[in-house]
Amino acid sequence: MKNKKRITVQERDLLALFKAEGLSNKECARRLNRDPSVIGRELKRNSFKASDGRKYYVAIHAQAKADGREWRLAHAKRELKNPDVYDFVTEHLRMGWSPDSIAGNLKSDHPFDKHWWITAETIYRWIYSPKQIKQGWFEYLRRKQKKRKKQTGRKVHRSAIPDRVSINLRPKEVNQRKIFGHWEGDSIEGKGHRNGAHTEVERMSRKILCKKINSLKSEQTITVQKKIFINIPKAARKSTTLDNGRENHCHFKLKELGMETFFADPYSAWQRGTNEHGNWLLRYYFPKGTDFNTVTEEELEEAAEEINNRPRKILGYKTPNEVFNNLLKKEEGVALDY
């Protein structure tokens, strides 16, 4: 008999992975011991439409949608003035808008209708209320602070990423995985956010490369990125796409290797899904909470190499190493070995 309980956080993580691998709804249902109709309903209700017009299913967004729906059903009275304002605020928080931008936009779009008016302070108070702290809405703020700091006497420090180029300016052929040598990068954090590993995944072959980082500062990250890319042929290192973390502030130094850098939109991990999946595979070897001071460089590279030598359905059951090497030979005009 199929499980009648609601879909769990863990099941949503697995469903997102299965769909990224191209599995059918029926196969996803079989693996999760669910009825196919349950899977179809979950994808329909909790997927979202991106700017490119396509629908995506990302576990964190699906969970947020489900949590929001449950919350709205459980609360007859909204904490953000009214249902329309609640939906607008929560939707745009997920899009990376600040409370000030949300409040300002509402008043600008509805200058004569106080039904829509709300202050940024009201939104902040809602986010940091005891109930919502448990829901984790503070994670959508730029600073992601669990505790709100006092406004009096606090110096605000804002630092934009220099020479940032949006992913929206990345060539269409790169987006469609038609050009070899374009990567996606990110950092895996270790115990206490003190150390970790930087990973880079090539978009066409899914080959993953990684090295330890002793701190999550930008100087350390760019040093490790250079170590990763310096040993790769120029034909295989054209660009990398990163997130908006502070550790990527020195990205422009990759120009020394002839590489371009692009940045995903805020809170849009799905735009770097290749890297997200690569990190997910690496987490099997180094789960959250791992102290990377106890991990050697050799152990990290061995784990990556094991992943790179594993046949993948999305690659026609070839390994990332096989696909990478064949694409490199093709790029350099060498006859392929099939």
pLDDT of residue 72: 67
Could you tell me if 278 and 199 are in contact, meaning their C-beta atoms sit under 8 angstroms apart?
A: yes
The predicted model gives 255-281 an average pLDDT of 92
pLDDT tens-place string over residues 6-29 = 889 889 999 999 988 889 999 999
Q: Look up residue 229 and give its amino acid.
A: F
Residue 102 domain-assigned (yes or no): yes
The band of 250, judged by pLDDT with boundaries at 50, 70 and 90, is: very high
The predicted model gives 217-221 an average pLDDT of 92
The band of 35, judged by pLDDT with boundaries at 50, 70 and 90, is: very high
User: And the tokens for 289?
Assistant: 């909470």
The predicted model gives 246-268 an average pLDDT of 93
2-19 b/e with 16+ CB inside 10 Å = b?
A: eeeeebeeebbeebbbbb
Nearest CA to 183 out of 248, 256, 268, 261 is that of 261
Residues 208 and 290 in one domain: yes
Cα(280)–Cα(274) distance, integer angstroms: 10
Residues 181 and 317 in one domain: yes
The band of 150, judged by pLDDT with boundaries at 50, 70 and 90, is: low
- Decide if pLDDT at 242 tops 90: yes
Least confident stretch, 24-38, 75-89, 103-117, 149-163: 149-163
Residue 159 domain-assigned (yes or no): no
Residues 66 and 95 in one domain: no
The band of 334, judged by pLDDT with boundaries at 50, 70 and 90, is: low
Strands 260-263 and 48-49: what pairing?
A: unpaired
Which residues are CB-neighbours of 182 under 8 A, at least 6 positions away?
174, 202, 203, 204, 238, 239, 240, 241
Residue 324 domain-assigned (yes or no): yes
pLDDT of residue 180: 97
pLDDT of residue 322: 95
Residues 63 and 182 in one domain: no
Domain span including residue 140: 88-147
pLDDT of residue 78: 53
Q: The domain spanning residue 293 has which CATH number?
A: 3.30.420.10
Residues 96 and 189 in one domain: no
pLDDT of residue 73: 61
Q: Of residues 337 and 224, which shows the higher confidence score? A: 224
pLDDT of residue 255: 95
Which residues are CB-neighbours of 122 under 8 A, at least 6 positions away?
80, 81, 103
The band of 156, judged by pLDDT with boundaries at 50, 70 and 90, is: very low
Residues 102 and 240 in one domain: no
The total of structural domains in the chain comes to: 3
pLDDT tens-place string over residues 281-326 = 999 899 988 999 999 999 999 999 999 999 888 998 899 999 999 9
Question: pLDDT averaged over the chain?
Answer: 86
The band of 1, judged by pLDDT with boundaries at 50, 70 and 90, is: very low
- Distance of alpha carbon 276 from the chain centroid: 6
Residue 19 domain-assigned (yes or no): yes
Residues 126 and 258 in one domain: no
pLDDT of residue 66: 85
- Decide if pLDDT at 145 tops 90: no
Residue 219 domain-assigned (yes or no): yes
Cα(150)–Cα(134) distance, integer angstroms: 20
pLDDT of residue 75: 53
pLDDT tens-place string over residues 40-82 = 999 998 888 887 888 889 988 888 888 887 776 655 445 677 8
0.75 exceeded by pTM: no
The predicted model gives 219-236 an average pLDDT of 95
Residue 160 domain-assigned (yes or no): no
Residues 172 and 118 in one domain: no
The predicted model gives 206-211 an average pLDDT of 96
Residues 213 and 246 in one domain: yes
Cα(208)–Cα(264) distance, integer angstroms: 19
Residues 195 and 46 in one domain: no
Could you tell me if 182 and 259 are in contact, meaning their C-beta atoms sit under 8 angstroms apart?
A: no
Residue 158 domain-assigned (yes or no): no
Residues 318 and 209 in one domain: yes
Residue 92 domain-assigned (yes or no): yes
The winner for highest mean pLDDT among 109-123, 154-168, 287-301 is 287-301
